[in-house]
Amino acid sequence: MELKAKKVSDSEVTMTQLVLPIHTNSLDTIFGGTIMSWIDIAAAISAQRHSNKDVVTASMDQMSFYAPVKRGWVVNLKAKVNFVSKTSMEVGVKVMAENPKTGELFHTSSAYMTFVALNSHGRPTEVPSLILETDEDKRRYQEAKLRREQRLASR
Cβ-based neighbour number of residue 107 at 10 Å: 11
On whether residue 59 sits in a domain, the answer given is yes
Give the distance, in angstroms, between the CA of residue 58 and the centroid of all CA atoms in the same chain: 12
pLDDT, tens digit (0-9, with 9 covering 90-100), for 16-57: 999 999 999 999 999 999 999 999 999 999 999 999 999 999
Average pLDDT score over residue span 50-71: 95
In this prediction, residue 63 has a pLDDT band, given cuts at 50, 70 and 90, of confident
**Domain enclosing residue 142, as ranges:** 6-153
pLDDT, tens digit (0-9, with 9 covering 90-100), for 100-137: 999 999 999 999 999 999 999 999 999 999 999 999 99
Query: What's the CATH code of the domain at 13?
Result: 3.10.129.10
Q: Which residues is 98 bridged to in the sheet?
A: 74, 105
Decide if pLDDT at 2 tops 80: no
Q: Is 88 exposed, middle or buried (0-12, 13-18, 19+ CB in 10 A)?
A: buried
On whether residue 121 sits in a domain, the answer given is yes
C-alpha–C-alpha distance, residues 86 and 91, integer Å: 15
**Domain total in the chain:** 1
63 vs 1 pLDDT, higher one: 63
Supply the pLDDT for residue 64. Answer: 87
One-letter identity of residue 39: I
Decide if pLDDT at 142 tops 80: yes
On whether residue 86 sits in a domain, the answer given is yes
On whether residue 1 sits in a domain, the answer given is no
Supply the pLDDT for residue 1. Answer: 61
C-alpha–C-alpha distance, residues 12 and 42, integer Å: 9
